[in-house]
Amino acid sequence: MQNLKILPLTRSDEKTLKEIYNIENASFKDSYSIESLKKEISLSFSRIFVAKENGKTVGYCIIWTIKNEAEIHRIAIAPEYRKRGIGKQLLKTVLKLLKEERVEKVFLEVSEKNFPAVNLYKSCGFKITGRRENYYGKGENALLMETLL
């Protein structure tokens, strides 16, 4: 993991966008289309940070920032790179960058059944602040989490 770099995605980086799309499809049943990912890059309040190991995209994080608040929309690591601490390093780096930009509070939603993600967020200072019943479908609730920077 010493060769891990976390960088913002640029609009012209089609190769990385396709790698993000592949990770997205492997990670979420309601995955974004390539067109949706391209739209994310064009939104003034949206940014994508990419984790690269030895030049290969191994994870990403999509955030929306509005004034002094941010929301994490997606964070995912390629299946073959999970359980190596990359997600935690990516999240900590993104939170550090947000703090430097004077963001004060960060929000997210996560399935209460996604124990690895919930534990990751808790380990980075997030607290559960609410629940949305059946948010991800019948019987799958969302936990609302936030942290102060």
Is 136 annotated in the active site? no
Secondary structure of residue 96 in the 3-state scheme: helix
The one catalytic residue in 53, 71, 109, 112 is: 109
Is 112 annotated in the active site? no
> Could you give the CA distance from residue 104 to residue 16 in angstroms, rounded to a whole number?
29
pLDDT of the chain, 149 residues: tens digit per residue: 568 999 999 877 889 999 999 999 999 888 999 999 999 988 999 999 999 999 899 999 999 999 999 999 999 999 999 999 999 999 999 999 999 999 999 999 999 999 999 999 999 999 999 999 998 888 889 999 999 99
Please give the pLDDT value at position 7: 92
Please give the pLDDT value at position 103: 97
